Amino acid sequence: MRRFSFRLEPFLRIRTYREKTSELELARVVGACVALRGHLQDLKREIQEHTPCSIGGILMDLSDLQARNAYRAWLEKDLRSTQERLTHTEMEREKKQEQYLSASRDRKILEKLKARKAEEYYDAQWKEEFKRIDEVSDRFLLQAKVEEGRE
């Protein structure tokens, strides 16, 4: 029996490649989102540690207080910019996820078509094989009847 050959195999390989590429891009963006979320948590914790109530009853000179306020302002500014970057990265993640799902859907469609065509091919091959076997057995039966008639 001959092997099944799918005529659209090159397209299936291309779609598989596109899916893997989309998956890698999605993974990169998801990693960036995770990193930004971690950075946000670190910033929030750092800001919490530098609240005025955490200074306590320790007397500080004015320059130390100004430095703490400047550092807190810088942390808050970094927090806002990180939140904006996270928002943009989340939007990019959604786009990449949609691209990945589309590429995955396209590949699965071709794989299902390939499986269906292979099944049809092998069913036809088996029918042909059984047809040949029936023909051979019919010849043997006919030959056996002919030989019986001679005797």
Kindly report, residue by residue over 60-88, the tens digit of the pLDDT.
677 888 888 888 899 999 999 999 999 99
pLDDT of residue 62: 79
Give pLDDT, residue 54: 46
For residue 93, being part of any structural domain is answered with yes
* 61 belongs to a structural domain: yes
24: domain CATH number is 1.10.287
Residue 40 has pLDDT above 70, yes or no: yes
57 versus 25: the higher-pLDDT residue is 25
| Residue 76 resides in a domain | yes
Q: Which residues contact 90 (CB under 8 A, 6 or more apart)?
A: 33
pLDDT band at 48 (very low <50, low <70, confident <90, very high): confident
Residue 136 lies in a domain: no
Domain count, the chain: 1
Output 143 or 78, whichever has higher pLDDT: 78
Tens of pLDDT, residues 3-20: 888 999 999 999 999 999
Q: Are 47 and 71 in contact (CB under 8 A)?
A: no
146 alpha-carbon distance from chain centroid = 67
Q: Domain residues for 22?
A: 9-109
3-state secondary structure 58-115: CCCCHHHHHHHHHHHHHHHHHHHHHHHHHHHHHHHHHHHHHHHHHHHHHHHHHHHHHH
